[in-house]
Amino acid sequence: MELLVELHMGLVKKAAGRFAGKGFEWEDLLQVASLGLVKAVEAFDLSYEVMFSTYAVPVIFGELKRYIREQGQVRISRDMKAAVLNMRRVREEWEKKKGSPPRLSQLAEGMGISVEALTEILEAEGAWSRAESLDDPAFSAGLGPGGGGSGVLEGQEEETEGILLRLMIKDLPPREKQIILLRYFRDMTQAETARILGISQVHVSRLERAILKKLGASFGRDTQPAYPGSP
């Protein structure tokens, strides 16, 4: 048991890191996430026929969500919320006028900010949405106090893939982060992503494969999960 916990401490740190800098003490987050990992180790059964990490992620997040509910929801500053709302307004106005989504550079220009600052706002938009959905039954299904039972597995694998992406996105270079944000947080096709970034669809496809391979390697996976189609 101790060995399994030690081998997956990287997963604990990445899970806790999703809430770092949002008003919570790092040591507290790490302790809570570690408790989730221990519960996952104690409850895991080989008969579940899934990778341990696939099972452990929602259990760890269950503990973190419980802690966050006790401490108060994820905190996003008033200024950042205003920036997200302004971005949505500028984006919607552009789409109505042009009939297609703006490139990141165009959206940033319309807001009078840099592309780097826009990337931070896009990430905050995702964090805000996740904070509002902490009580979403689809996200929490099967996460009982003990974190055990087959209910944890039902409908969790696709959600787990999304969680794994969120865990890694902070470590990506700006261009790679933009691709992941557009493809998997805004559900855009490769063609739409290429149009926004001002590059070819072939280039997006090539970069995306490399990014997913890197993300998979970071979690010690031999195969890549199923992601949205490329058209």
Each residue's pLDDT, cut to its tens digit, for the chain (231 residues) gives 677 778 788 888 888 887 776 667 889 999 999 999 999 888 887 776 777 887 888 888 888 888 876 665 556 678 888 999 999 999 999 999 988 888 888 999 999 998 888 888 887 777 666 555 554 444 433 333 333 333 333 344 444 455 555 656 767 888 888 888 888 777 788 998 998 888 999 999 999 988 888 776 655 444 344 444 445
CATH architecture of 1-74: Up-down Bundle (1.20)
Tell me, what's the pLDDT at 5? 77
Give yes or no for a contact between 97 and 91, defined as CB atoms under 8 angstroms apart. Answer: no
Q: Where along the chain do its domains lie?
A: 1-74, 75-133
Tell me, what's the pLDDT at 227? 45
Statement: the pTM of the whole predicted model exceeds 0.75 = no
Tell me, what's the pLDDT at 6? 80
Q: Please state, in angstroms and rounded to a whole number, the distance separating the CA atoms of residues 25 and 170.
A: 19
Tell me, what's the pLDDT at 217? 62
Q: CATH classification of 75-133 is 1.10.3470, yes or no?
A: no
Tell me, what's the pLDDT at 104? 85
Helix-, strand-, coil-residue percentages of the chain, each rounded to 5: 70, 0, 30
Tell me, what's the pLDDT at 157? 43
Nearest-Å Rg of the Cα atoms of the chain is 19
Sign of torsion over alpha carbons 168, 29, 37, 64: negative
Tell me, what's the pLDDT at 153? 34
